[in-house]
Homo-oligomer: A and B are copies of this chain.
């Protein structure tokens, strides 16, 4: 039941509680209550409009892997991770300590960003051709397998 709500809200975050209630065959107050519980439990952390950067004049998307020298990590977080180009920043295991997803208006802009990142470690940059999936909803199916 909660999975159904999560699925609907991940696909359309602006669906009204009345509509949501219809879809799950519950009354509106009961539905509202369940969603509030999911929010307070930290399962739902927020709602967001999904934007297409390329429609906003940001045609370039890239993944920049950075092997940050550990002493430089605090400054890297301050000066690189917080740059507006950075949409996602993950600290990961392995040789490339950080993975950044960035968007840029021009190649020159990307170059400038990569040069900034280079100050804190070696980088490897991959341009994104296309995204076959983006922010796919988390579903109950994930519990079929181990």
User: Does B89 lie within 8 Å of A146, measured CB to CB?
Assistant: no
* Copies per assembly: 2
User: Does B138 lie within 8 Å of A103, measured CB to CB?
Assistant: yes
- Asked if A53 is at the interface of the complex by the 8 Å CB criterion, the answer is yes
Write out the residue numbers on chain B whose beta carbons fall within 8 Å of the beta carbon of A86: 133, 136
User: Does A99 lie within 8 Å of B63, measured CB to CB?
Assistant: yes
Q: 0/1 per residue, A86-118, Cβ < 8 Å to B?
A: 111111111010010001111011001000000
16 A–B contact pairs at CB < 8 A?
Answer: A10-B49, A11-B48, A13-B46, A14-B47, A47-B48, A48-B50, A48-B137, A58-B142, A63-B90, A84-B141, A89-B131, A89-B133, A92-B129, A96-B126, A105-B143, A109-B146
